[in-house]
Amino acid sequence: MPMRPGRCYSHITSQPYTRKEYIHGAPQPKISKFVEGTPAVQDNYEVRVQLVSLERGQIRSNALEAARIAAAKYLSINVGDANYFMVIRKYPHQVIRENKMMAFAGADRLQDGMRLSFGTPIGVAAFTDAGDVIIDVYGRISDLDKIKEALRRAASKLPHNTRIIVKEVRKAVQQVQ
């Protein structure tokens, strides 16, 4: 499978590096909110739609934030803030390191190349396995197509192949008068 551009850090290449008490200067995640919409009792919502990862890898925190913003913006405009509840299920624990190399004339006298190359922390990412839920959205059955479109837009911001799954559908409770 050919590599798509921008996938430098999407594959898991080493063991987890998550002990932040040992990492000096570990960056904070870029995600500002993990919950969007109206967090009412989930029984008030008729449908639950999930964005599920189809492959193993890692998703950087800025990609999760971009996916959250894209989905929340679409849902807020087309469904309304009171009619949906969205939760980001993955938390970026994995610290990503980079061995920065200088690329200019005379740089060979200033750097050591790969000698003792541990790397400096540059960001954080979330590990995902195949079948892991990345985003959950609760809403009404009448808004199902709009929720699916919001998750499709969010999936375009992520480096992995994903699938949208309608997990629960139940009829609204009809009260007889």
Q: What is the pLDDT of residues 52-81, one digit of tens each?
A: 999 999 999 999 999 999 999 999 999 998
Q: What is the pLDDT of residue 176?
A: 40
Cα separation of 52 and 145, whole Å?
A: 17
Please check whether residue 24 lies inside any domain of the structure: no
Please check whether residue 27 lies inside any domain of the structure: no
Contact predicate 27/124, CB 8 Å: yes
Q: What is the pLDDT of residue 167?
A: 83
Q: Number of folded domains in the chain?
A: 1
Model confidence over 152-177: pLDDT tens digits? 999 999 998 999 999 877 765 544 44
Please check whether residue 71 lies inside any domain of the structure: yes
Please check whether residue 151 lies inside any domain of the structure: yes
Please check whether residue 29 lies inside any domain of the structure: no
Beta strands in 1-110 (DSSP E): 35-37, 47-53, 57-60, 85-88, 94-98
Please check whether residue 69 lies inside any domain of the structure: yes
CB atoms < 10 A from the CB of 65, how many?
A: 18
Give the CATH number for residue 160. Answer: 3.90.1170.10
Please check whether residue 14 lies inside any domain of the structure: no
Please check whether residue 74 lies inside any domain of the structure: yes
Domain around 62: 35-99+122-169
Q: What is the pTM of this model?
A: 0.81
Within a 13 Å sphere around the CA of 37, how many CA atoms are in the beta-carbon half?
29
